[in-house]
Amino acid sequence: MTVHVSSRPTPPCELGKPGHIWTNADNDTVEVPALLAPDRHLWPAEDGGRRAHPPMYRDRVLPAALTIACAATLTLTATAQPAAASPPNIPSAGTAAARLAELTVAAESHSSTYDRDLFPHWITISGSCNTREEVLKRDGTNVVTNSSCAATSGSWYSPYDGATWTAASDVDIDHMVPLAEAWASGAWAWTTSRRQQFANDLGGPQLWAVTDNVNQSKSDQDPAEWQPPRTAERCRYARAWIQVKWYWGLSTDSTEKAALGSMLTSC
């Protein structure tokens, strides 16, 4: 694969393939309409089998002058801002707004009974790779792993703050909707199996590779209490948060819903 580095964004080589999503100059993911494109991602098989792959995401590609070459060679372009893979199934702003309106509005409850251990996480996904390691491979660039699947080199762009890291130890895997938030929004009534699926969900925009101390500053706060310090990321953050709550049937409180609505106006 040939990789060209460009100082400016370039248009997508083709926009018509079902299931494809491309990234525009504002770093927003844009869905390409497709009659057979799934609206929701698939769950992992109960027997531990591999799930269907989600719609592919891709970066900015060749300028118009080189479009003909796309038929033979896939060439990626990187912009001045590091471009990294993003979690799948982030809805458009319009879809997110519609799904926000569908969420049940209710006060949080059962917060005092929350325990992180109620959400088994970082389970083995494939071979020796656990959930964290799969996200590091998915969202990193030139990631090299050893025999135990630990990342030994690579780089990771943190969309929350715009920082790039070359040591996996500087990167946390953020649960978009924190486990404590999920618990207080309805997960308290789930089975342990369903909470495990939620905590390790690679099929939706629930898991993000981000700067460790930024993730720690977020903690278990909702968007009424915490938003990414990089303002350009707040639109996508709101869309991802709404998708996770909508897909998993979690409620939203009134201040959280108002904050999400305000964030969508920046899209």
pLDDT in tens, 22-42: 333 344 443 333 333 333 333
User: Is the predicted pLDDT of residue 120 greater than 70, yes or no?
Assistant: yes
**Cα distance between residue 210 and residue 173, in whole Å:** 6
Give pLDDT, residue 86.
85
- Average pLDDT over the chain reads 78
Helix (H) / strand (E) element for 165: namely: strand 163-165
Give pLDDT, residue 110.
97
Residue 254, phi-psi category: left (phi > 0), alpha (psi -120 to 50), beta (remainder): alpha
**Cα distance between residue 146 and residue 168, in whole Å:** 13
User: Is the predicted pLDDT of residue 1 greater than 80, yes or no?
Assistant: no
Give pLDDT, residue 34.
33
Cβ atoms of 157 and 164 within 8 Å: the answer is yes
Residues in contact with 247: Cβ distance below 8 Å, sequence separation at least 6, in sequence order: 40, 41, 204
Bigger pLDDT: 32 or 102? Answer: 102
User: Is the predicted pLDDT of residue 81 greater than 60, yes or no?
Assistant: no
In this predicted model, what pLDDT tens digit does every residue of 125-135 receive, in sequence order?
A: 999 999 999 99
Residue percentage of the chain with pLDDT more than 90: 68
Give pLDDT, residue 84.
60
Task: Tell me the pTM.
Answer: 0.71
Bigger pLDDT: 172 or 25? Answer: 172
In this predicted model, what pLDDT tens digit does every residue of 193-251 receive, in sequence order?
A: 999 999 999 999 999 999 999 999 999 999 999 999 999 999 999 999 999 999 999 99
